[in-house]
Amino acid sequence: MKRRRLASEINLPATPLHFLAIVPLHFKRPENFDVTALLCSSTFVDLELVYYFLVENHTSHGFWHSYFFVLTIYPVVLSLIVYVAERRFGKTIFNVYNFFRFFPKKVKYSFKTIYFSCLIGGASHIFFDMWGHEHSPYVLFPFFRENPFWIGDWNIIILVLVIFLSFYAIFLWIKQMQIHRKHKQSNSTDNLMNNLAQDWKFGFGVKRFRRQAQSL
């Protein structure tokens, strides 16, 4: 039984994959999904595991891993944090994205968009996790004190789904970089042509001025 439980735990999505699985929403609809809010909301839930590790508590999932928490308290608090951060540290956030060759159309989103993105991120985390954790008693708190969604080793299906979505996210990321590169090259070419045109007009104007001066 312990071996089987361990196998299902290993098949659980790693924390970064929770973000990769939903970031295609931003790639497809960048005006409707805040990537910063998606990143924070889909991963910060696992800070609960860090806390349990530090206090040497062997509980894997507690109250944070519940739909009640991620649909009520969590998105409100996190949305306020992201909203303030985007306005106070917008330039820093933008530079971090550029460092990772990620080019969002904007960094500052409305509170409504941030809140909606936090709802999606938190709920998706619970959704991907609930199939593989037998001992996750708060998933449907306060209605159930156990996890009715646990499917044991069949959780490999969810893991495959998450990995597929993650590869799709990487594909969209690479595609975005290519589009950005082409756009940058196109702008450089346009600027070069404009400069040549201005130089030609300037040169033509100088020649015309010389002709008029010689005729006087």
Encode pLDDT of 4-39 as tens digits: 444 444 446 789 999 999 999 999 999 999 999 999
The reported pLDDT for the residue numbered 30 is 93
Roughly what angle, to the nearest 10 degrees, separates helices 111-129 and 15-22?
A: 120
The reported pLDDT for the residue numbered 8 is 44
The reported pLDDT for the residue numbered 144 is 86
Instruction: Please check whether residue 95 lies inside any domain of the structure.
Output: yes
Instruction: Please check whether residue 150 lies inside any domain of the structure.
Output: yes
- Report residue 62 CA to chain centroid gap: 24
Instruction: Please check whether residue 188 lies inside any domain of the structure.
Output: no
Q: Is 193 helix (H, G, I), strand (E, B) or coil?
A: helix
The reported pLDDT for the residue numbered 215 is 59
Instruction: Please check whether residue 75 lies inside any domain of the structure.
Output: yes
Instruction: Please check whether residue 67 lies inside any domain of the structure.
Output: yes
Q: Comparing C-alpha atoms, which of 158, 119, 122, 120 is closest to residue 44? A: 122
* C-beta neighbour count of 53 within 10 angstroms: 10
Instruction: Please check whether residue 50 lies inside any domain of the structure.
Output: yes
Instruction: Please check whether residue 152 lies inside any domain of the structure.
Output: yes
Low-confidence ranges of the chain (pLDDT < 50): 1-11, 206, 209
- Residue 128 tokens, joined: 């991907």
Q: How many angstroms separate the CA atoms of 168 and 149, rounded? A: 26
The reported pLDDT for the residue numbered 7 is 43
Q: For residue 123, give its domain range.
A: 2-167
The reported pLDDT for the residue numbered 2 is 43
The reported pLDDT for the residue numbered 13 is 75
Which residue is listed with tokens 């944090």? Answer: 81
DSSP, res 89: S
Q: Domain tally for the chain?
A: 1
The reported pLDDT for the residue numbered 203 is 54
Q: Is 181 helix (H, G, I), strand (E, B) or coil?
A: helix
Q: How far is CA 8 from CA 5, 89, 152, 159, 161, in A?
A: 5, 40, 6, 10, 15
Instruction: Please check whether residue 108 lies inside any domain of the structure.
Output: yes
